Structure 1
Amino acid sequence: MVMGLKTDLFLVYTTPTKDIRWSGKLKDLNLHPVYLIDLEEVNIQKAILVPPHIHIGKPFDVKELKTAMDLVLDMMSELKEERERYRNLFKYTGRCVAVYEAIDNGKDFVFKDFNPAAEHAEQVKKEDVLGRRVTEVFPGVKNFGLLDVFRRVYKTGQPEHFPMAHYKDERISGWRDNFVYKLPTGEIVAVYEDLTEYKQLKEEIKKKEELYRSIFENTGTATVIIDEDSTVLLANKESEKLSGYSKKELEGEKTWEDFVVEEDLKRMKKYHDLRRKDPSLAPRKYTFRLRDRQGNIKHIQVNVGMIPRTKKSVASLIDITELKEAKRRIEESEERYRAVVETAPNGIIVLDKNGRILEVNKKALKLSGFKREDLIGKNIIRILPKIKLDPEEIISGLKLAIKGEKPDKKVRTFTNLKGEKISFIEHHSVLEKNGEVVGLSVIIEDVTERCKAEKKIKESLKEKETLLREIHHRVKNNLQIISSLLNLQFNKIKGEEVHRLLKESQGRIQAMTMIHEHLYQSETLTHINFKEYTKRIIDNIFLSYKAKIKKKLEIQDIKLDIDTAIPLGLIINELITNSIKYAFPTGEGTITIKLTTNDDNIELIVADDGIGLPESIDLEKTETLGLKLVNILTKQIDGKITLKTGQGTQFKIIFKDKPRKR
């Protein structure tokens, strides 16, 4: 420029910029700008919409021109620095930036710029998007809703915030938060953040919060979070049940101190303070008494821990009132058990499955002469020889008991430490836990005095047995004397009827004599072997009458007491005698005698194949002495008699094999 020339106008030329701050300074020079533009329609429209980038002013003198030129140079330098700062900000910012130019009258937009942060977030290179439509690069932008935002901002020029939403197409998906505004030059700028990781983290945190909330609510125990000032910050449903208060009444309204009984409060406060100074100074688990809304006192076991990096604590509370009561009942039961065991009349020794002595009562100590400390923890094998008991024999019995078998409960004898001989019987009880044998309880029944008494009784019984045998012997002798006297009378008195009566009486006496003879000769004095007795009495009758009649015997081995044997023997005597005397006129025939048992019944059959009794005979109304006697004796043994006539005669008597009334 030639200085000093009189110029009506001067031209200041720069390239278009986004932000020309010195335009305001030109205004301060009070110059009147003239726009210099190309005559293209687009440039005309821009010149109308934006502040001037090209100014033509008319200077008043050279000084003013120089000042204007200096001003232009300064502004050019400042503009270059400003542009560099914004370029670095665009390049290195952590936020995604995309610049768009409107096409199709603002219906679509093409990429003009794309910063590295956007490249990383969208996984696409800048050169692959520049000049391309946004709907082509991001086909989901319309459904996403961002395209409508671009159109509104382009039309109104007003910036908009498009809150975080989820974008998805076939290539990429994620959460985006957009700020959209319009440049003075008409470009649309989207500044946005890729919040996908943030959203995922937030969802993960939400899930964990829900999980922890679920755990907190469903632990099955009352759980609360306590603040430093003792306030209940959070309480679960179980806490409501335990305290009787609702969550609304607890959270932020109550302190844990409101529930602790006065006697436990001082201790609990001490723990609370110590825990916040140093958690290791206070116990984590302890018990206290809680008073609920209804005033009920509950025994509580609490487990307390500090929440890391806070002054808050979490407490888990378990109502152990029933457990405490059960423990008290168990202790009382154990005391009662101990009292029963200690006062038991028998010695009791508890062993584990290896034979180690776990417990022993006072009676066992008294019987053995040992002290408690001499036995507890010792193996019983080492103890037995000291009291002269065979370890192998005792251990064998213990092993059988553990297997569930019953050892022989015979009387054994040991010599205690005092030198006393003790007679005893062992009883065993298997100890089980969860179905497994863990030990054995051995009960020592002291039978020393009983054995002494039994010995005396046996000696006394032996004396009485000897005496009773002597009595039976003498009764037999006396009956034989009576039989001999009758025999003498038989020889002196004449007459067949008298002879018959005397002979029948002798037969009856002989039947009773043989009973007493069997009793004093048998091993027992109360029962006789009736099979042997029956054979003897039948042989004696046949011998007495010199009968040539045949006899058939079917007699089982049956033992009867004297109260049954004597009447039954007399019945057999009467029936056989009658058969021999009246059933066989020719002196030939057979008599059958059967004696059998069936369950509780005994059955006697006496039958013959003789001429038989008249069919009209009535046993209940008979006039014959023999049959009357049979009826009386049958009733005496509570029996039932039946008579069968026709081809011979059969008497059947059934009676019970049990004690009868006398």
Structure 2
Amino acid sequence: MFGPPATATLLDLVGDPVLTLRGDLSALRANPAAREWLGADAAEGWRLLRQAAGARLETWLREATLAIDTGRAPPPAPPLKLADGQRATLHLLRDRPNWLLHARLSGAEAVEPPIVEWLALSPLPAVLADAAGGGLLRRNAAFEALCPGTPRHLNDLPDLLQALLGWHRGVPLPALTAQRVQDPPLVTEAEFVDPQGRHRWLQARLRLWRLGGRALLLAVLEDHSTLHERDLAHQQLDALMDTAAVGLATFQPEAGWLKADRKGSPFKTGARPSNGSQGSLQGISRDIVEPASLPEFERLQRALKKGDAVEVRYAVRHPELGRRWLLTRVAPGLLAGGRRSTSVVTLDVTAQAQAENALLLRAESERAVLDSVLVGIVTVGPDGIEWMNRSARRMFGCELEDVQGQPMGVLAPDDEDHPFHAEPGSDIFECRLRGRDGREFWVIGNAVQTPREDGATQLTYALLDIDRRRQAEAQSRQAQASLARIIEAAPLAISLHEAQSLRIVKLNQAAAAMAGRSEGQLLGGGPEALFGAEQGGQVAADMREALESLAVVQREYRVPAGMATRVWDTRLLHLAGVGGDDAPELLLLVASDVTEQRAAEQARLQAAISQRELLVREVHHRIKNNLQGVAGLLQQIAARRPEVAPVLKEAVGQVQAIAQVYGLQVGASGPLLLKRVFDAIVGSVQRMQGRVITTAAEGGALMDDWCLPEAEAIPIALSLNELLGNALRHGHGAQVRCQLICDTAGVTVEIVNPGRLPEGFALQNIRSGVSGLGLVRALLPRRSAILSLEQQDGDVVCRLELIPPSVVHNPGTKPSS
């Protein structure tokens, strides 16, 4: 209906009854017309009216509130017949968070709208216009003061005033025409120049009032110029105080603090101000003042009490910002009328204090650094020597107190041309000095003029004792000469090589003797000059490795020397920066002749190998003899005990097979030739069984290429013994054939005997045992030996395929490709 600032006033001026209802539709307020209609207690009268109207009124109230809240048009209200014969037509409007209920009584006489009286009484500029045509219907005196003359239409007003009233190009703004009953009024703002030329900031509240199919534009203007000026002043003051980090307060004895510190105050600590002197600084309590600053803080408090002018700097411990330095100025003054006031300005000078402390610390740090350097530093002012560092005091053999305030010449001999007596220049000088202890020495130095804080100049002398440097250089030269003599006389071959090109830059006589050439011929040469062209490339590669690893690289090289060959044990070391940062990188080569040592070691090794082989052959021979003895004993037992003769005969065959292997190992070293093992096992089986086995061999030269490793010789020999014995037992006296086939992939042993395999025979079903096929399966390696049995017509064919590592190539021959 109307905007919030004028709602209560407007309702009181309305001639129709208007109730302000709460959210539960109970009466909150009534205008005079409503109280005249419902009684003095309008809330009770409204309750009785709802009770008398019954369900029709309650249903309409519920449906109307729901429709308005959801943005729909409310249903028409049911007509209410009153006791005096009048009829009331109700209209419900939304005025958040409340509701406005307007009652139109049918018996009421047509009078002029009460809004006219409100326009006349309102102190704010207000206007009522036709929203359709733009004609001005009513305006009050305050509005006429803004726009003198007799405008009859909104178009006659200034453009800025039209914009404020929501009138644009002859029609209301779309925001006005789309305004609903429950929407708040439209607010516009603009800066307007009144007829007197004053700039005024106006705010307008606009509402379209629809009455009987007619739309009226109601506008109320309010002058916010004073508020804007106050806010602008506050913003400018805040910006100034924030930028300058200033806290400002004004104190009057009669009224107390008129303006406390603002948000930019550097001393706003958040602490609750206390009474008395502590409250005079608006939050700075004695508790947060640093103990060392308490006397200054008390002086400030006394000046505040007495109204004296004072400027105090003190330190506080801020609970959030830490240690801060504040500068407070107290300036008393008089206001208009003779009233006294005191302005207190507090500045945060922490940055300035920190800069001063940093400057002092820097000066102390520079003095500490100068006091620790090895160069003697002497500072001379207008009144003489002011400061000497530790090196200068040690150089002159005195303390600062002994020469302080005296001229620099007190430290120099009596010589008018001495730099300490003459006007110093900017050039470096070299002179002799005499210490206070009588010692004379030479120094090199210079003097620099620098300005002082008081405007005068001072001289700073930097002196270096070159006697000690000369002594150090002499000692270094002596050490280098001694090292050169040691290297020359050493029995080791020593040479120095340039790191990039590996060229020889220095070598001793032993290195020249190793190469068999003179020192002049070797200088500038590469590694091949020392070790020959054949080994030069390898030596160069080893030198590169030593340069990259920065560790000692040890190698042995064989250097031809006439008809003999010498063995040199060589060590390579990268010398990085040995002679200083500017010295080139070098590679040190140190070699010793170990020919006799290596020959002696080789002789000892050969003797040990020969002794080992002799012992092995003796052990194998004894094992063979012992196994043959065991076989003979078993044969004697079999002759005496016929019932166990078959079992013993099989055991004798196994022992004889093992003995054959050990017999072959006598006089041999390394793997055994497979052909020799094959022939020995076949011969042993023939002798034990008293039968002849037909043998054949295929492979030619490959027969001597395949060997049995020492670990596989006995298991494979026992397996061949069992397979041959098994063929003879099941051959029923027929001829047994055995063939050895060698190729590049491996070896195959094929045994053929007449007979037939049992029905459903499968080799994988044979369990491991101590005889026959069970023993063979237990002895053969699983991954490099393949055993198969198959029936071919009337013969049983057994194949044993051996591949590496069960068989290996003969080390004495080259493997076939």
| TM-score in same-fold range (> 0.5) | no
| Bigger RCO (CA 8 Å, 6+ sep) | 1
Could you tell me the TM-score, scaled by structure 1's length?
A: 0.36
Could you tell me the TM-score, scaled by structure 2's length?
A: 0.30
Would you tell me which structure has more strand in proportion to its own residues?
Answer: 2
Would you tell me which structure has more helix in proportion to its own residues?
Answer: 1
